[in-house]
Every structure is written in structure tokens, then in C-alpha cells.
Amino acid sequence: MKACFVTGTDTEIGKTLVSAALLHVLAGQGARSLGMKPIASGAESIGGRLRNPDVQALALHSSVRADPDLLTPYLFREPAAPHILAAKAGEILDPLRIQSNFQAASKLADYVVVEGVGGFMVPLGAGQTGADLAQRLNLPVILVVGLRLGALNHALLSAQAIRASGLTLLGWVSNQVEENMLHAQANIQSLREYLPEPCLGIIPRLHNPDPNERIRLAALHLRHPWPA
């Protein structure tokens, strides 16, 4: 079983797009692939159950089906910082619980893609951050760089934090979130020069209104992070 932890330079920069696209690539190669998003916020009640679009995208593009509560033990209705929502609900975002769920999920698949929440250092409460969760899972990290003004600084700081945590930066993916960004290609070249880890994909701005079609299109721009 191989697994990775997908983080990003910020929130809303394409972690789900990349995670689901990676699952799509793996499933297309006949692998048993499974996506986890242990902490998610922003959901609506459908059929008496909270539904989050990121969680649903990961499930749709996984080739293995599993209990949603196993894959997302912490799901909140409001679209806000999870540690604030957890405190409001009287809960603690417990890394041990997430680790236990991951270990159970890892027995079901050949590949597990764990999508983090927010950026790498997002607070999780009780002095913990996303970095602590990644360390607890002890997984190599894929960094999604949201290509927009300021991305270079955010990418280099995030990469530095990942390395300082003792984790392996498996590679990085550029995702163009700012449609008319000036000098986008020059920024990508700078990422290549300053990040020694491999580039696993350059995703252009995707305009298809169907989110699942965008995931399929993004998959065309990714390379396998675990080459045979």
C-alpha cells in the first residue's frame, strides 16, 4: 500500500481537484484507490446526512468504496476554520482518531490519498496544526501550489515547513487559480528552479462548469507520483 498527504499553499487552491484527479489516474490504471478527507467543513444536509462536495468528489473518483464516517470523521456544516467549529461543537480534532481511521482505510486499497484541510500549518486546536497531523500519519506530502500573485513565497514557505517537519516532499503540482495571472510561465519556471522536488503536474485554468469533468481534465496533466 502506498499513500500520500495532499496539502496546499492556502485554502481554495485546488487540493481536492488534485487529490481527486490523482485518484482518477490510479483508478484508470486498475489500482484500488481510496481518498480520505479526515476534516472537512462546509456541508449541507441531504437525505438526513451532511454532504460535503470535496468529500463527494474524492469518493466518486476512488475505485474503492468505504464508510464515509471512516474517511471523514470530522465534518462540519459551516464553511469556517475547523478548529473553531470543533470548539463550538465541544469536540476535539483528535489526530489519534484520524490515524486509526487511516490505518483501517489503508487495508482496503493499494493507494490512499489523504487530503488535508487548508494549508500545511492550519490550526487544528490544542496547539496542533496540519503539520502535526501529517507527522502523525507519517506520509510523504504532495504540495499543491495555487498559481496566483504571491504563490512563490507561499510555495517556498510551505515546502520549508514540510521539510522541517521531517516529512518527504514527494513533489508539487501547480494549479492556475488566477485566470489572467501575469507571467504565469515565468512563475512556474521559478518554482522549478527553487523547488528541487519533482513537478508532478502543471494544471492550466480549467473552465468546464462540471466539477467532475474538471477533475478528469486535470488528471490529463498529472504524472504518477510513484512510477513503476
Q: First CA to last CA across the chain, in angstroms?
A: 14
Give the whole-angstrom CA distance, residue 159 versus residue 203: 19
Q: Spell out the per-residue pLDDT of the chain, length 228, in tens.
A: 999 999 999 999 999 999 999 999 999 999 999 999 999 999 998 887 889 999 999 999 999 999 999 999 999 999 999 999 999 999 999 999 999 999 999 999 999 999 999 999 999 999 999 999 999 999 999 999 999 999 999 999 999 999 999 999 999 999 999 988 999 999 999 999 999 999 999 999 999 999 999 999 999 999 999 876
Beta carbons of 130 and 98 less than 8 angstroms apart:
no
| Grid cell listed for 150 | 504571491
> Domains in the chain, ordered, with CATH?
2-219 (3.40.50.300)
What positions carry a catalytic annotation?
Answer: 37
